[in-house]
Structure formats: C-alpha cells, structure tokens
Amino acid sequence: MSLEALFTSPQIMFWKVFFPPLVYSFHGWFATRMAIAALFRPYDPIMIGSYQLPLTPGIFPKRRSKLATAVAATVTDTLLTATDIKAQAETLVTEQNIYVSVDMFVDSVLKEFRDTTKLHRLASDIAELSPTLLQHLVESTIESVEQGREQKVAAITEKIFDQVILSTRINLDQSNEIASYIIEAFLTPVKVRNMLVAVLSPQNINAIDESIQAHAGGPYKILARIIGVKRVCYEWRTFLEKEPEESQKIINDLIKRFGIRDQIAIQIANFDMRTLPLQTIARFKQDLVKFVETFIVEHKSDLLESVKRVEVEAMGTVRSAIVRFNPESIPEVWLKRAKQDISTFAYSYLKRELGELLGKAIPALGMYALIARKIDQFSSQQLENLVKRICSKELTWLEWLGGGIGLGMGLIQIVINACVP
C-alpha cells in the first residue's frame, strides 16, 4: 500500500477527525480539575532544600487569614448587620412569645421544687446566704438613705401610711384602753392641780378679766363684776396651793363625774384621719417619712447589730419557708395571673429598651473577630470540605465546562483543518 493510500484510509481519517476533539476535551477537563485542586492542595508548603515550590501550599490554605477576614467582613457588614439583628429580634419580641418563655421557665422552676432532695439542698444554700444578703441589704439601704439616694424607704413608708395608717380605725375597747392610759399618765389629779396653778398665774388672771371686759355682753360683764372673776380665780389658786390633798380629791371626783375618760375614748374611736384636710395629711406623711429616714440613719449601728443577732433566726425561717413550700398549693388562677404580669412587664421593658440593649450587646459580642478567628482556626482539610460541601455540584459542573470548552476548541481545529489546505 502506498504512503498516500495509508493516510487516506478510512481508519486514519476517522482518527484525524475525532482524535483532536477528544484530546482538547480531556485537556480542558483535566486543566480545570487541576486548577480547582490548586485552590486547596497541597495543604502544606513543599520544600526542595531551602526552595519552596510555587503554588504550595494551595491558594486557600496560604490565604486563610485574609479569607477569614474577608468572610467576617462580608458577614458582619452585609449578611448579618446590627440593623438586621435588631429587626429580627424585634419581630421575635412579642407578648405571646415572652409569655411562652415565662410559662416554661416558671413551670420548670416549680418542677424542681417537687424534688425533695433538691429542695432541701436549695433551702440550705439559700439559708446560708440569707444573713449575708440581709446584712448587705440593710447596709446598702442605710448608706443610700444617708446619701439621699434611697427612694424605696420613702415609697414603702408612704404606701404603709396610705394603705394602713390612713384607713386605720380604733375600736371602742382599744379607745378605752388608750383613754385610761392618758388619764393615768397625763391627767392625774396631781398633774391637773399643778397645771391649774400654773394657768392661774397673776398675768393670766388679769388677762381673763380683761378679755371678759372687752368681749362679754352687757349682762355678762355686769355678772362678772358682781361675782368678781379676779377674786374667784385668786381664791381658787390659793385653795389649790394651800390644800393640795383636798383639791386633788375634788379634781379626781370631777374627772369621774364628768366622764372625762369616756369622752376621750369616744373622741379617739370617732377619729378618722381621712377627714383631715389634704394638706394636713400630706404634711403628716412627709413627717412620717422624715422620721423613719432619720431613725434609720441615727440608729445605724443598732440596726446592724440587730441584724447580726437574728442571723440564726433568719436562716431557720428561710429554710423552713422553702422546705414547706408546695407548688401544688398555688392557685392556678393566681399562677396564671403572675405569669401574665411577668410577661407583660418583660414585654413593655424590652419594647422600650431593646434597641439600646442590642446596641450595647452586639459590639460587645465581637461578631467580626469571632467569625474571623473561627475560620482562621479551620484546618486546610476542613476548609476544603466546607467549600466542597457548599458548592460541590458547581465545582463538578465547572470541570465539565472545562471539558466542553476543550471539545469546542477541538471542533474548531477540525473546521480550520478542513478549510485550510
């Protein structure tokens, strides 16, 4: 067979037509695959003596720190901004969601109280802390009152005044006891006699006579002159001074006959502070608050000493109260209302303060540094697995695209060979 016939045979013509596209296609696929592999491999630099081979390690392992910084900047500046976090948080902060959270939390806490072992351990722990907490509370309260920063004492005192003292009424039996004490302590015959002697001084007697002459009507003024008011007052004063025992008997008899004790008791029983003018009530309330605050400051050492003396009683009381606590004894209606009140309070607080809280919390979280540090801590193999897990399908299609481009180049070569002699 001649050389010309050999090159024009059908077999050789077949390979001349189809071999170049196959070679180009394999070349494109293999080159693309190698380029993708060069993104991740090798994981470590390859050294020949003191010379490091180019493209070792791979692009991603070599630029891992810059990649971490770029991804962190993209996430925090574009994908997960503070504005996005705030908007998402505001959509989640609803009264219903907060109620569900409060409901689960309260139920879990009450469930723990059903465990006797945990309950006794909790009671012991809290009881041991109660003296320290009580002393710290008293000390901080007294210091705040001294510095004029404490408002709770005034608020509590005002509430006690409004709800207890202001509406308190004394019954007749209590009024009689108080009246008896007043008679025994302040209105004894001896004290009344001494008081009358002091009142009937010459100056006061002259004042009584002058007042009658100035203000009494005509008949009464004449009657006062006939009787001699000044003379009677002087005689009465002399009797009180010279006859103390007889005068005290008379005073005692008059107190009984006049029913002074009963009159005082009736006035006390009928007294209602709410009938006083509003300004008077407000002044009483202010005086009471001032008295309580002054008492707390002046008796600081006594109060702290009293707290130390009741440490054992406080521990026992707290422990006993916790151990005896039974969650089943809480009425369901009250529990539901308490949950609703807590969730309403939390919702109103978060609705008002959420923006400011997140504004302080997001920078404090350090999302940028956290993301960059996490990515930078990835090993080269973890980084490769992460990228391939995210876009393995796309990388495979990229390899096939390289093969397709090579196939196209081979076909173009065939056309060029056919057109150019």
pLDDT of residue 15: 60
**For 180-189, 255-264, 321-330, which range has the lowest pLDDT when averaged over its residues?**
321-330
Mean pLDDT of all residues in the chain?
77
Q: For 92-110, what is the mean pLDDT?
A: 81
Q: Which residues pair with 52 in a beta bridge?
A: 47
User: Is the model's pLDDT at 401 over the cut of 50?
Assistant: yes
pLDDT digits (tens, 9 = 90+) for 281-326: 889 888 888 888 888 888 888 887 877 777 777 677 777 776 676 6
Contacts (Cβ under 8 Å, ≥6 apart) of 99: 339, 340, 343
Percent over 70 (pLDDT), the chain: 81
Please name the helix (run of DSSP H) or strand (run of DSSP E) that holds residue 52, with its range, or none. strand 51-52
List CB contacts of 364: < 8 A, sequence separation 6 or more: none
Angle, alpha carbons 103-107-108 (nearest 5°) = 120
User: Does the reported pTM lie above 0.75?
Assistant: no
- 20-33 mean pLDDT: 76
CB count within 10 Å of CB 14 equals 10
One-letter amino acid at 19 equals F
Decide if pLDDT at 1 tops 70: no
**Nearest residue to 415 via CA among 20, 22, 12:** 20
Cα–Cα nearest to 120, from 319, 312, 317, 328 = 319
Q: Which residue has the tokens 């209606």?
A: 333
- Tell me: the pLDDT tens digits for 136-177? 777 888 888 888 776 778 888 888 888 888 888 888 888 888
Residue 201: pLDDT over 60: yes
216 secondary structure, DSSP code: S
Candidates 141, 125, 140; CA nearest to 315 is: 125
Parallel, antiparallel, or unpaired for β 51-52 and 47-48? Answer: antiparallel
The more confidently predicted of residues 158 and 218 is 158
Among 87-96, 106-115, 337-346, the minimum mean pLDDT is found in 106-115
Which pLDDT value is given to residue 421? 54
Sign of CA dihedral 150, 152, 153, 158: positive
Coil/strand/helix, residue 234 = helix
User: How far is residue 46's CA from residue 56's CA, in Å, rounded to a whole number?
Assistant: 6
- The greatest distance separating any two alpha carbons of the chain, rounded to the nearest whole angstrom, comes to 182
Q: What is the pLDDT of residue 7?
A: 43
